[in-house]
Amino acid sequence: MGKILDSLSIFLPVLSKTEIYLIVLAFVILNFAIALFIYNDSKNRGGKSIGWVISSILLGGIIPLIFYLMVRSPYTLDEIREDNERKEVLSLQKKYYQLMISKEVYKCPICGEEVKSDYLFCPHCFTQLRKKCPKCGAIIEKDAKICPYCGFIFEGKE
């Protein structure tokens, strides 16, 4: 029995040295992995990657990592770029439709020349395009029998 204890006491300091070595090694590897993760992740998100790596090495990895995960940008640069592209496409579509609508509205049906939406007559061919409601002043279809804005009823020639 004593023999075993003796051999253990000889053996233990050696083991603890190895343990300490392994713990230090594991800590260094972990630190390195965290620094690498933070570097790549913050780079993808447009953050200050070098600053994060330095602070994660100086402060021992885990705490800066938790802090980093709390404050990092929720979107990666790719996601932000995609979002901007989507918005750009939407605004282009909107402009396109507005242009189509304005082209449709702003053309004289007789001569095809461009006219403004509030023109009563085409300045190119003298065609009456619209009429003005005598009661409320709204500009409406020239064939309308009733003003859609105020209910004024047109009788006969107007």
Region for 126 from its dihedrals, namely left if φ exceeds 0, alpha if ψ lies in -120 to 50, beta otherwise? left
> Which CB sits closer to Zn ion, 35 or 140?
140
> Which CB sits closer to Zn ion, 51 or 112?
112
CB 47 within 8 A of CB 77: no
For the bound state, the minimum distance from the C-beta of residue 98 to Zn ion, rounded and expressed in Å, comes to 23
Cα–Cα nearest to 108, from 122, 118, 119, 98:
122
CB 136 within 8 A of CB 154: no
For the bound state, the minimum distance from the C-beta of residue 143 to Zn ion, rounded and expressed in Å, comes to 15
CB 115 within 8 A of CB 100: no
Residues forming the site for Zn ion (CB under 5 A): 108, 110-111, 122, 124-125, 127, 133, 135-136, 138, 147, 149-150, 152
> Which CB sits closer to Zn ion, 95 or 135?
135
For the bound state, the minimum distance from the C-beta of residue 101 to Zn ion, rounded and expressed in Å, comes to 19
For the bound state, the minimum distance from the C-beta of residue 138 to Zn ion, rounded and expressed in Å, comes to 5
CA angle (35, 40, 45) in 5-degree steps: 120
> Which CB sits closer to Zn ion, 51 or 134?
134
Give backbone dihedrals phi and psi of 142, rounded to 5 degrees, phi first.
-70, -20
